[in-house]
Structure 1
Amino acid sequence: MLIDIFNPQISVVAKGLEGKVLLVYGSNNLGKTKQATRMKKPFHLGFESGLNAIAGVPFLPINGWADFKKINKQLTNPKTLDKVKEMYNTIIFDEVYASSLYCQYYICNKYDAETMGDKVEGKNLYQEYEREYLREMDKLIKAGFTLVFIGHAEYDKDTEKFRPKGDKRSMGVIIDNSDIVVYLKSNGVDDKNNVIKSSAYLAETKDFFARSRFDYIDTYIEEYTAENLEEVIVKAIEKQEKAEGIKAVSFVQQQATQATEKLDFDEIYNECIGHCKTLAAKVNLEAVTEIIETHLGKGKKITECAKSQVDILSLILDDLKDAVQELGDNE
């Protein structure tokens, strides 16, 4: 899709769980991981031992951030993404706080630092950690899986309520991108000492944080199971269809509205060269240089662009086209 504000896409709501991002958190032994593994075609990313009592779930061991980066690269590779989705629909990220520690260890090792507070080569390691974590999460979130982040609960003295455990550089990214944040609460045991399934809350209270992007969703699930969670999401979208007169679409259709133009480096490069010659001939070389240096920096040339800079090159092309068009309008 070409970027054109005069021809915008219209937002749509997708049915079902596909492509939804969920954060499920609470104390231990509430069924966070177990219920996530009951979702469609799960794959478990275990930063901690969440599968010790659960059999039959595909996973790969993660003993460091580098392990996760390798797995994430395979999960999100555009060339093989369709093949991956034939195997897995639900990615279980277990759990967020442990993953953030792995990422911090990785950054310390990368810069040969003892702690995150060290200054190495003038770099702020916390900023490096934030960029690294965001970069990997962005790839995973945008891949279009049903993504279930697992988190622990901790009491926040400032807000005087329970929140997902983690710093703003990691947990903040997860919360901001979650369609639903689920807080699980224990119901203890029955009179025969059998564990009663936990309950789920999907809206914030005075005691804990939770939320949903869906206005018509039930905010309480008495018995938390994967099936019951999916049911409240499906019903919420059905209620929205009826109340707002909309028609929910498939996730594939929703993704199509969010796709942007695919940039071909060689094609854009050749167009840039052609427009540079036209503009230089009709005006002067300085006009071309000004446009290029605005985007690449003083003294830089288009011929020095790497393929990873294709997005910058596309901006240069837009400005060159505008300049050539303006010349034509003035003739």
Structure 2
Amino acid sequence: MSFDIFNPQVSVVAKGLEGKMILVYGNNSTGKTKQATRMKKPFYLGFEDGIRAISGIPFLPINNWRDFKKINKQLTDPKNLDKAKELYQTIIFDEVFTAAKYCQDFICKKFGVETIGEGNSGYGLWTEYANEFWFELDRLMKAGYTLLFIGHEQRDKDTGQIVPKGDVRSMQPVRDNADVVVYLTSNGVDEEGNVIKSSAWFAETKDFFARSRFDYIDTFLEEYTAENLEKVIADAIEKQEKEEGVKAVSFEEQKETFQSEDLDFDQLVKEINELGSQLAEDERVEEVLEIIEKHLGEGKKVSEAKKNQVEVLAVILDELKDLQ
């Protein structure tokens, strides 16, 4: 893909739950884990032990961030991706607060400090934590998985509003990037003592936090189930199609609109050398060297560039083309 502001991509909405992030939170016994494991092709990441009473679900226990990174590498490895996605579609994080703590502990050990608030000249390592957490989640979403985070609730000490459990900075990578944040409320039991399924909320009120990226989503779901969660999102996308006259596409089609230019290291080196030679014949050697050294460093040559400098080489080539 080439980048051209006069021929831009046009944003599209993708059908289904592929590549989407969902945070479901609420009190105990609201069906968070049970319904999560009923989503399409679930794979349960046990940051907690919430699956002990549910059988038949593929899972792995997560005892530290290293465990998760190792599993994530397998889930997103291009060599294994098709095979992995035949088995799994919904990656369940139970629960998000513990996942965040493990990630923070990983960052603390990486930088040799005791708490995430230390380091960085007293400013803390929150940015490093957020970047690490989001990098791993982004890999999963770009691979086309549905990420479903389970969270507990707590009351914000300043506003009194019910929010997902965890420090705001701790929850930020999920809370701010989730396509849907669902708050569950219990409906108790019926006259015969049977548990009534919880209800779900998709919009914020003064009493609790919830949100959705989908403008046409129903803000309340009487009976929360895995099937109803998927349906309420599908219905929201369908309503958007009708109201705005847009056409929802597949995840793969949407993914293509977010791709950057494909960069080939060897091809870039070849083109830079060829163009540099042409410009040298026009007695513009000094301009060529100035551009190369500006990006690679004084005295550096293109032949000394490393593979991980492919984007730098692309910039050099663009600037050399401007000299033509």
User: Percent of aligned positions with the same letter in both sequences?
Assistant: 64
| Cα shift readout 1:61-101 (whole Å, capped 9, x = no counterpart) | 21111111111111112333222211111111222211111
> What is the match of residue 214 of structure 2?
214
- Count of aligned residue pairs for this structure pair: 324
Q: Within 2, Cα distance between the matches of 1:116 and 1:92?
A: 25
Written as runs of structure 1 = structure 2, the 5 A alignment for 1:151-230 is 151-230=151-230
Instruction: Label 1:304 to 1:162 Cα distance change in 2 as closer, same or farther (>3 A).
Output: farther
More displaced stretch, 268-277 vs 281-290: 281-290
| Cα shift readout 1:116-170 (whole Å, capped 9, x = no counterpart) | 3444899954443233223222222322211112222221123331112233444
Instruction: Label 1:55 to 1:283 Cα distance change in 2 as closer, same or farther (>3 A).
Output: farther
| Cα shift readout 1:9-58 (whole Å, capped 9, x = no counterpart) | 11122222222221111122211121111111111112111211111111
Q: Within 2, Cα distance between the matches of 1:84 and 1:57?
A: 15
> What is the match of residue 115 of structure 1?
115
Q: Within 2, Cα distance between the matches of 1:24 and 1:52?
A: 19
User: Is the contact made by 2:203 and 2:219 (CA closer than 8 Å) also made in structure 1?
Assistant: yes
- 2:289 aligned with 1:289: yes
> What is the match of residue 267 of structure 1?
267
Q: Within 2, Cα distance between the matches of 1:300 and 1:160?
A: 59
Aligned Cα root-mean-square deviation (Å):
2.2
What displacement does 1:60 show? 1.6
Written as runs of structure 1 = structure 2, the 5 A alignment for 1:64-79 is 64-79=64-79
> What is the match of residue 312 of structure 1?
312
Q: Within 2, Cα distance between the matches of 1:120 and 1:198?
A: 44
| Cα shift readout 1:158-192 (whole Å, capped 9, x = no counterpart) | 33311122334442121222111111111122233
Q: Within 2, Cα distance between the matches of 1:118 and 1:7?
A: 47
User: Is the contact made by 2:202 and 2:218 (CA closer than 8 Å) also made in structure 1?
Assistant: yes
Q: Within 2, Cα distance between the matches of 1:209 and 1:87?
A: 33
Instruction: Label 1:115 to 1:231 Cα distance change in 2 as closer, same or farther (>3 A).
Output: closer
What displacement does 1:297 show? 4.3
Q: Within 2, Cα distance between the matches of 1:102 and 1:230?
A: 29
TM-score (norm 2): 0.92
User: Is the contact made by 2:21 and 2:178 (CA closer than 8 Å) also made in structure 1?
Assistant: yes
Q: Within 2, Cα distance between the matches of 1:298 and 1:123?
A: 34
SS in structure 2 opposite 1:177?
Answer: coil
Q: Structure 1: any 5+ residue segments left out of the alignment?
A: 325-331
Written as runs of structure 1 = structure 2, the 5 A alignment for 1:95-110 is 95-110=95-110
> What is the match of residue 37 of structure 1?
37
User: Is the contact made by 1:25 and 1:183 (CA closer than 8 Å) also made in structure 2?
Assistant: yes
Instruction: Label 1:97 to 1:244 Cα distance change in 2 as closer, same or farther (>3 A).
Output: same
| Cα shift readout 1:263-300 (whole Å, capped 9, x = no counterpart) | 22111122222223333442444322332343344454
Instruction: Label 1:322 to 1:126 Cα distance change in 2 as closer, same or farther (>3 A).
Output: same
Instruction: Label 1:231 to 1:118 Cα distance change in 2 as closer, same or farther (>3 A).
Output: closer
